[in-house]
Structure 1
Amino acid sequence: MNVLVIGGGIAGATTAMALQRAGIEATVYEAYAKPADEVGGALTLSPNGRHALRQIDADDAVAAVGVEVPGMVMQNHKGRVVGRFDGLPELPPSLLLRRDRLYRALMDEALSRGITVEFGKRLKSIEDRPGQVIAHFTDGSSATGDLVIGADGIRSAVRSTLDPMAPAPRYTGLLGLGGWIRNPGLPVTGDYQHFAFGKRAFFGYYIDASEILWFSNVPAADPAEAKTTAPEHWLAVLRERHADDVPARDIVALLKPEDVARPGILEDIPTVRTWHRGRVVLVGDAAHPTSPSSGQGASQAIESSLELARALRDSPDVATAFAAYEAARRERVERIIARAAKINNDKAAGPVARIMRDLLMPVVMKTVMTPEKMFGDLHRHRIDFAPSGASV
């Protein structure tokens, strides 16, 4: 079997490696002319994502470019700690990663295993014929294979070929800003990430001896505001939104215009109706795009890569494999998307909702939102990728 993987990001690289481990040849076709180094912000790879990487022997390569974080601390706008989530027993710590370093580590690992990656191949159309599928690219070239896997993100061109009426990404009401700056001497946070529900925006940070990672989710009625490119504008927005927030205002005070890039738009799609048809199938954000608030985007993409490769290895035909893959994944990922949507609503809470949230959160964190109840099912999820009769 020869598979064409459209998209060379996290899902594309891990899908190609999982297919190779399953004995299936794959070539990756990336739209951009060169690797997307130095692109994107930070993300967290959760224990379930790390376990999935271990099934294809890629966790060590990724861990080498990340920072292990054993838990997170939740704060209110005054800086008071209202809850703490520690890692679950017997699970590896989450990894805090720069997205570009994760991408580079996975791409380098795929290339080192002999997987072919072709750059500058932006998809134009797909012909799904009996017994084969042909991908046509905007540069005039084409490629023929047994299957096409769309790993091309939330605005997937492959998804559009499966369902021309597929719903567009849904704006969550939040814009995201963030980056890294030098630490001039602020106290370090230990290994924990900190998340603060500010008065007018949500703020996250991680501080070590040399650097500060910061991000802010700013409520905005119109996502078109993100097109305002002037960094001075966004620096003023951050200063206004976090003027009453501790310690966000102290970190924002350190920012210079060059530290503030144009914000990203937080989006999701609650349900992608069509995951596969004929010899074409979706994976990662093309199939189940969640907003960054889930903390699970990369982990779920990796999980889906493994489930798809396992189904293709173990099922008697393509239709059966695709159906088994979707059955294994859809309920889990859509539950995560819905959960992230609720988190986004809390981040964008109005004055009355914010007051109620701050009053109730300390109690809720000790009862309903314990680490086991919040993350047990999520982080303990395991995919047995070994063939029947083999050990993991």
Structure 2
Amino acid sequence: MKKALIIGGGIAGPVTAMALRQAGLEPIVCEAYDDVAGTQIGAYLTVAVNGLSALALLNAHSIVTEIGHPSGTLSFSTSSGKHITDMPIGGTLPDGTVTHSVKRRDMYRALNAEAARRGVRYEYNKRLVNATPTAQGGVSATFADGTTIEADVLIGADGIRSRTREIIDPTAPKAHFLGIYGLGGFVTDRSLHDALGLRPGVYSMIFGKKAFFGYFVAPDGEIWWFANMPRSRELSRSESENTTPAQWRDQLVALLWADRGPAARIVAATPDDTFVPGFNQYDMPTVTTWHNDNMVIVGDAAHAVASSSGQGVSMAVEDAVMLATCLRDIPDTATALAAYEDRRRERVERVVAHGAQTSGDKASNGFGRLLVRLVTPYFLKKAAKAGVAPLNWMFDYRINWGPEHLAPGQPVIDRSR
């Protein structure tokens, strides 16, 4: 049985581990911290139907649907509070499932708990330092604590600052700052619902004069929100550590008071303990080398997409399942890793390009931002009339795991596209 060493216990890590275990490999997840969900940034995530479909191949889609909430409709408004249009977020699976929103920390914990329940081995406080080929054709990983672990293949699911990517190709590009700080939070004050006319289950987006704002009202009444603040420079580690939630809240409220609508009041009502402080948002320039003979990268390490695409989680899940099928079906590891890249690269680069375009609108400032606000209603109404059809290439994508390899009780989903 091939042993696979997976670097990172975020989202790509545990999903890859579950996929590899189902494919007959022995996965080991090495996490740099002592808590897979303890240091992550961001408030919540969306999992599109293509990601849920891929999770269904692992019988893991219910993890998302049980802890998340359906959010199948987008509603757009202007800074003056004028409603522009509503449109669906992606398609709908045969059983009626739509895109789901889920708290980031809940998803990290649930995925890793499920991987561990299925027998995946975890090693904590293992920060990768280096990895080298072994004489037997495998790979030996060295960690900051001085330990080493050998395996047949090493998989970097270690995010946008991937050490695995650097080891595979020291000339690999660094992450690209999108000119946006992200913030977020959760509000439990239900009195805001009636006062602000909030609609549960609808993902509302506001093109503000000075910031972009989005929010979602969960079925239990909790308000989930995020904001994008245009900035010309990256937030330093010192600024990130020394700026308090109260200071971030004051900065953001000052920007949002320029708009009509609920944004400023939602942020002002967010307590410190549920406020997600500012963080830089990135995507990845094209990574020309994804693998060598016994190492490969998946998820954000290979192709981080802008959050505006709503596809970051789904791309990581698709990677995990596709990599598992290649390692299962192709005996030679190097050939399997090459096949994985060949089957994934064109799709993910198209998704990255789509996300970069939508994020560019949010990063605009001055006259550029005014122009975006003026033309956006026209294009959104046009897009709403077209429905989801122009983006079917993104949401209708399916991976053929093969019914002969499904675990007992697993659903056989539509693979006709």
CA 1:89/1:16 → structure 2, altered by over 3 Å: closer, same or farther?
closer
Q: 2:141 aligns with which of 131, 135, 143?
A: 135
Q: Do 1:203 and 1:216's aligned partners in 2 also have CA atoms closer than 8 Å? A: yes
Correspondence 1:243 to 2:245: no
Aligned residues: 392
Please give the alpha-carbon distance, in whole angstroms, between the structure 2 residues aligned to 1:138 and 1:152: 15
Distance in 2 of aligned mates of 1:350 and 1:260? 25
Contact 1:63 1:95 in 2 (8 A): yes
Counterpart of 1:65, as a letter, is: I
How far residue 151 of structure 1 moved from its aligned partner, in angstroms, is 0.7
Q: For 1:33-61, what per-residue CA distance to the aligned partner results, in whole angstroms no more than 9, with x for missing partners?
A: 23325843201000000000000000112
Q: 1:112 to 1:325 in 2, by over 3 A?
A: same
Asked whether the 8 Å contact 2:235–2:279 carries over to 1, the reply is no
Mean CA deviation greater in 32-41 or 136-145: 32-41
Helix, strand or coil at the partner of 1:342: helix
Do the aligned partners of residues 200 and 374 (structure 1) sit closer, same or farther apart at CA in structure 2, a change above 3 Å counting?
farther
Alignment of 1:196-275 (within 5 A): 196-208=206-218, 210-224=221-235, 226-227=239-240, 228-245=242-259, 246-256=261-271, 259-275=274-290
Letter in 2 for 1:382: R
Distance 1:224 1:361 in 2: 28
SS in 2 for 1:148: strand
Give 1:52's match in structure 2, choosing from 54, 58, 72: 54
Give the aligned partner of residue 83 of structure 1.
85
Q: Residue 209 of structure 2 contacts residue 370 of structure 2 at CA under 8 Å; is this kept in 1?
A: no
Query: TM-score, normalization: structure 2?
Result: 0.88
User: What secondary structure does 1:262 align onto?
Assistant: strand
Q: Does the aligned pair in 2 maintain the 1:128–1:280 contact within 8 Å?
A: no
Q: Match for residue 365 of structure 1?
A: 380
Partner of 1:3: 4
Distance, in Å, in 2 between the alignment partners of 1:297 and 1:384 is 20
Tell me, yes or no, if the aligned pair for 1:6 and 1:29 is still in contact at 8 Å: yes
Q: Distance in 2 between matches of 1:110 and 1:322?
A: 23
For 1:192, the equivalent position in structure 2 comes to 202
Offset, 1:374: 4.5
Task: Report the alpha carbon displacement of residue 253 of structure 1 after superposing the two structures with TM.
Answer: 3.1
- Give me the whole-angstrom Cα distance separating, in 2, the residues matched to 1:357 and 1:133: 50
> How far apart are 1:258 and its partner, in Å?
5.2
- Taking only the aligned residue pairs, the percentage that are identical comes to 38
SS at match of 1:384: coil
Are 1:284 and 1:300, in contact at CA under 8 Å, matched by a contact in 2? yes
Partners of 1:366 and 1:287 lie apart in 2 by 34
TM-score, normalised to structure 1, is: 0.94
SS at match of 2:360: helix
Q: 1:140 is paired with a residue of what secondary structure?
A: coil
CA contact (8 A) 1:5 1:148 kept: yes
CA distance in 1, matches of 2:172, 2:39: 31
Q: 2:409 aligns to what? A: none
Q: Following the alignment from structure 2 to structure 1, what is the Cα–Cα distance between the partners of residues 36 and 138?
A: 29
1:307 corresponds in structure 2 to 322
Query: Matched residues in 1 for 2:354 and 2:393: separation?
Result: 13
Report deviation, 1:257.
Answer: 5.1
Q: 1:169-203: CA deviations, max 9, x gaps?
A: 11110001111121241224221111111000000
1:174 to 169, 174, 180: 180
Alpha-carbon offset, residue 163 of structure 1: 1.1
Q: Is the 8 A contact 1:38 1:100 kept in 2?
A: no
* 1:4–1:26 Cα contact (<8 Å) kept: yes
The 8 Å contact of residues 183 and 207 in structure 1, kept in 2 or not, is answered as no
Q: Residue 131 of structure 2 contacts residue 140 of structure 2 at CA under 8 Å; is this kept in 1?
A: yes
Distance in 1 (CA, whole Å) between partners of 2:64 and 2:383 is: 33
Aligned AA (1:296): Q
CA contact (8 A) 1:270 1:338 kept: no
